[in-house]
Amino acid sequence: MAGRNRRNGGVRSKFEKKILCIGAGFVGGPTAAMIACKCPRYRVTVVDTNRERIAQWNSAALPVYEPGLEEIVRKTRGRNLFFETDIPKGIRESEIIFVCVNTPTKTFGAGAGLAADLQFWEKTARQILEHARSPKIVVEKSTFPVKTALAMERILNSRTGGIRFEVLSNPEFLAEGTAVRDMEFPDRVLIGSRDTEAGYRARDTLVALYANWVPREKIITSNIWSSELSKLAANLFLAQRVSTINAVSAICEKTEADVTEVSKIVGMDGRIGARFLNASIGFGGSCFKKDILNLVYLCRHEGLPEVADYFEGVVRINEYQKERFVLNMLEAMFNTLAGKRICLFGFAFKADTSDTRESPAMHVARRLLEEKAEVVVTDPRALDNAKADLRGIDGKVRFVQDPYRAAQGCQAIAVMTEWGLYRGLDYEKLYRRMVRPAFIFDGRNILDHRRCHEIGFNVYPLGRPALTHFK
């Protein structure tokens, strides 16, 4: 059944296409909103079993924070963008289905700790099979293991009766915090299909969708297996750069080199480039760790243990960097954190997002509580998620929106997230509110360390010499 757009001169116009996004999370919601914005003649529906999340998408307080997203949703919601819980209806009425469900790392059984947990994906595939009454184009939008499309094809085309499904791989390459910009002006859009006539037709349909706003030369087509692997490989390369510079930061601290200078010098090499060479407490988010471990599992399954070990080293360095940060805090603060109040500036895994999945701040908070410290968490967007993440954890934790109130009575500030807000704070005012000696541990190297030291703080950057007042 075709939907209806706004009246135009008294004449009702039908939607040209009906798009469905299954999954209303960090991928599905923004993806659907951008398609609706750029393709006003398409009806775009987002469905999810989580009624609370759908209600949030239909409210003024969206469940996902991304700069620019609220404006797009406000402009398109109710016009050609809809958020609903009726999944069977959405499947029946759609022509193109984007699968945007979560694929976390397995915590049980074979491949636990490495392989992707595909139970939500398979449930979705079987829902599509059960409720579809006409041929569909099914698009893998979430990051899936290589050959997932084959399994999806086998499930979807198991029905007798002539309904056929074409499965495409169209991995997202958006970065949280810049998702809207990344979708509006992408470096590339990748579409993988089967090398069949039906696969090419489905691919061309999706190409035409993106061509509404993406230059054709940036829309890349490939076979479906190359597309699935390319997403995993891209995240591996990015994470590898982060872990490499973080490993270098550890050397810098032992040799009194400055990782900022090293990064700048290395980044000027045209073969390397400067992006993702900023030392930090480590990467987080839903993708890097999960996708790399997926590759590790694949390599071990295929009899490539040396390759698996190499890839896994990227994750080990990331875990090491987070633990090293905590141990540096412990050493600097006289080898005990018990009873000391420490304020975490930021809990989101990166700036400009509310997402706290795999956030380094989670590891740091847990470890500080294990050391019997008191933890105060402040974040401009992620406090609700932080509360959920730390619910049930033993120890004293408070959540305070205002960073000045959060730092009151604390002995240390630990910068966890590179929010611009923290660069502009009045650190003299913060210093007056804190217990002396006062410490700053800058896990993102975003502050003016010399100025903070002049104020009175003992400052511990990453990969740079500490600035202290101790003899």
Q: Which residues are catalytic?
A: 287
Burial of 268 (0-12, 13-18, 19+ CB in 10 A): exposed
Three-class SS of residue 99?
strand
Task: Report which secondary-structure segment, H or E, holds 412.
Answer: strand 412-415
CA 334 to chain centre: 36
Q: Using N-to-C axis directions, what is the helix angle for 69-76 and 28-38, rounded to 10°?
A: 60
- What's the DSSP call for residue 435? P
Count Cβ neighbours within 10 Å for each residue of 383-413 and write b for 16 or more, e otherwise: bebbeebbeeeeeebebbeebeebbbebbbb
Answer whether 269's CB lies under 8 Å from 281's CB.
no
Burial of 453 (0-12, 13-18, 19+ CB in 10 A): middle
Residue (of 348, 338, 355, 345) closest to 424 by Cα position = 345
Three-class SS of residue 314?
helix
Three-class SS of residue 302?
coil
How far is it, in rounded angstroms, from Cα 205 to Cα 404? 53
Is the bond leading into 403 cis (omega within 30 degrees of zero)? Answer: no
Tell me the backbone φ, ψ of residue 22, rounded to 5 degrees.
-95, 115
How far is it, in rounded angstroms, from Cα 404 to Cα 34? 37
How far is it, in rounded angstroms, from Cα 63 to Cα 85? 15
Tell me the backbone φ, ψ of residue 395, rounded to 5 degrees.
130, 170
Provide the edge-to-edge strand list for the sheet that holds 165-169.
81-84, 42-47, 17-22, 96-99, 136-140, 165-169, 189-193, 219-223
Three-class SS of residue 351?
coil
For 22, other C-beta atoms within 10 Å of its C-beta total: 28
Q: Which residue has the tokens 């002049």?
A: 454
How far is it, in rounded angstroms, from Cα 28 to Cα 45? 10
Identify any residues that bridge with 86 across adjacent strands, giving them in sequence order. none
